[in-house]
Amino acid sequence: MTFSGAALPVAQLFGSLESQAASTHAIVSLLVVLQLAAPALTLFLVGLPALVDRPLSERATTRFVGGAFTLAFLAGLATLAVLAMRGFAPEQVHLGTWFSVGHHDATIDLVADGLSVPYVCFSTGLCALVNAFAGKYLHREPGFTRFFVLLTLFGTGMNLMVLAGSIDVLFAGWEFLGISSTMLIGFFHERTNALKAALRAFTTYRICDVGLLTAGVMIHRAVGSGDFERLFNGVWPNGHCLVSPGHATLISLLLVFAAMGKSAQVPFSNWLPRAMEGPTPSSAIFYGALSIHAGAYVLLRCEPLLDAAPVARGALVVIGAFTAIHAALVGRVQTDLKSMLAYASMTQAGIIFVEIGLGFRVVALVHIVSHAILRSLQILRSPSALHDRHELEAALGGHPGAASWSVVGMLPERTQSWLYRVALDRGFEEMVLSRFVIGPVWRLLERLGGAELAWIEWLGTRPEDRGRDTAGRRMQGGWR
């Protein structure tokens, strides 16, 4: 093809624009990879020496981890600047195909847009701050290195989830979040309560992960790939859904189910107050700031699907509103500060769900960021605030500043008493779950397990020995 004299400058202009776009894409790609690679490499840098019993010093650990998060934060800011210059048009970063079988392609796709990059800046910045706080707070703690390994695992998972351009990558990040969260709740592993709380949280996560896993498969079935760009397009928050309303509704409902677990929505909320068994810095960043909003983030990421799924949006509003009322009520009767803050987080997470369900995406994003910053500050401050409060009370006597008026106080006394009972029993949520779901299932499994053992014992005993006292030859628990 040849260009005429008039067409040549236009072609050059287009060529120049193309090369500029290519170089911008290359820069954004590099910055996005840096946001992921910095915490991921630090995970190995801090984790591997610990695995060979040669952990880094406390100073080196906090410097490496803090440096990685700061680097990721700066890379996020730079990406934000580049994107802002281009009107926040999304940049797809394709890092390759992880593996592929038949029609099933697992691609490593990331996306930098008006949702993901601000969120990465916010999350990595918060991680860097908590790293600085935890370096002092956990000084000489036996699990010092373990904490920072889990913090970098969390940071890696968070960035992976936030920058994910496909459901496969998002799921990988989501799993890292769940595992690091569980291990940090059970950080003080010598305490039985911490173990129970961690197992409870992990069980809730895994049950709700079924939603995300199934949603992933449904997305592959619907569009032949896990890439979000085949699922919806456009500039966030005004994307357009590319699948049928039926698919959109099914996938959205599955995503709502997944989000309910991580964001502690009723009836999957009772793990959250117990999760405060972990160290204060992890409580701040997980249950005050980032992990609690992971579900909301996934819903914001897939907002075009919700647009095409009014049923899912309705479900979000109902679940969110119910959770907010439940948590606000229960939070009022908590007797320890961290539990009170946990329920306050739950209330806000419920309201954020309502906002997303009503279609206020930008409001929800601003709400997430502001709530996360405020709540993590409150949780980080809580141990010293209590100390200060005790000193104040000792100095002044009584309970200075305690509220003397409340809305509940205006209700009839009988209603107040009933509400108090409901709140004290945490809305009967746990009682219902344990009595009607967990308890019967557990008892059934225990009976099956017992029957299995009896059958093995019977089958493994010679007929002439059956019925005799076989205690001496019963299968022993000794090591072999």
Partner 1 sequence: MSFDGHDIPLLAALIAAILAPLAAAFHVSRGGSQGAPRTPAMIALLVSLVAGLTITLFWMSGPEVTLELGQRLGGGYLVHVDGLTAVLLPFVGLVELAIVMVAPNRFLDGPATVRILLGAATTLALFSTAHPLVLIVAWVVTALPTWWSTRATAGGQTAARVYAIMMTLAVACMAIGTLMMIADPPWEAGGGFLGASGGWLVALAVLVRKGIVPFHSWYPALFRGAPMSTALAATMPQIASYTAVRLFFGHADHGDGVGAELVVLSQLALLTATYGAALALVQRDLRGLIGTLAMSQSALVLAGLAGKLPMELNGAFCTWISSGLALTGLGLVGWALESRAGPLSLETPQGRFADAPLLAAFFLLFGLSSIGLPGTLSFVADDLLVSGSLDEQLHAGLLVIAATVLSAISVMRGWFMVFGGPSNLDGPRHHLLPRERIALTALFATIVLLGLWPAALVRELERAGSDLLGVPVEAHGYDAAAVGWGTRR
Sites of contact with partner 1 (CB under 8 A): 50-53, 97-104, 106, 168, 171-173, 175-176, 179, 182-183, 186, 189-190, 192, 194-195, 198-199, 202-203, 206-207, 209-210, 213-214, 216-217, 220-221, 224, 442, 445-446, 448-449, 452, 455-457, 459-462, 473-480
Query: Quick one: residue 428, left, alpha or beta (phi over 0 = left, psi -120 to 50 = alpha)?
Result: left
In contact, 137 and 31? CB cutoff 8 Å: no
Least distance (Å) from partner 1 to the CB of residue 311?
20
What is the C-alpha R_g of the chain?
26
DSSP result, 98-141 = EEEETTEEEEEEEEESTTHHHHHHHHHHHHHHHHHHHHHHTTT-
Nearer to partner 1, 198 or 242 (CB): 198
Cβ partners under 8 Å of residue 227, min gap 6 = 107, 109, 165, 166
Least distance (Å) from partner 1 to the CB of residue 475?
5
Nearer to partner 1, 183 or 342 (CB): 183
Nearer to partner 1, 172 or 341 (CB): 172
Least distance (Å) from partner 1 to the CB of residue 246?
15
Nearer to partner 1, 84 or 475 (CB): 475
Least distance (Å) from partner 1 to the CB of residue 473?
6
Least distance (Å) from partner 1 to the CB of residue 343?
25
Nearer to partner 1, 56 or 74 (CB): 56
Least distance (Å) from partner 1 to the CB of residue 258?
12
Measured CA to CA, the distance from residue 284 to residue 272 in angstroms comes to 12
Least distance (Å) from partner 1 to the CB of residue 149?
9
DSSP result, 41-108 = HHHHHHHHHHHTT-PPPHHHHHHHHHHHHHHHHHHHHHHHHHHHHTTT--EEEEEEEEEEETTEEEEE
Least distance (Å) from partner 1 to the CB of residue 435?
19
Nearer to partner 1, 405 or 479 (CB): 479
Cβ partners under 8 Å of residue 402, min gap 6 = none
Measured CA to CA, the distance from residue 261 to residue 208 in angstroms comes to 5
Measured CA to CA, the distance from residue 169 to residue 107 in angstroms comes to 8
Nearer to partner 1, 195 or 373 (CB): 195
Nearer to partner 1, 198 or 354 (CB): 198
Q: Give kind and range of the element (H or E) at residue 216.
A: helix 192-223
CB-neighbour burial class of residue 471 (10 A; exposed 0-12, middle 13-18, buried 19+): exposed
In contact, 165 and 109? CB cutoff 8 Å: yes
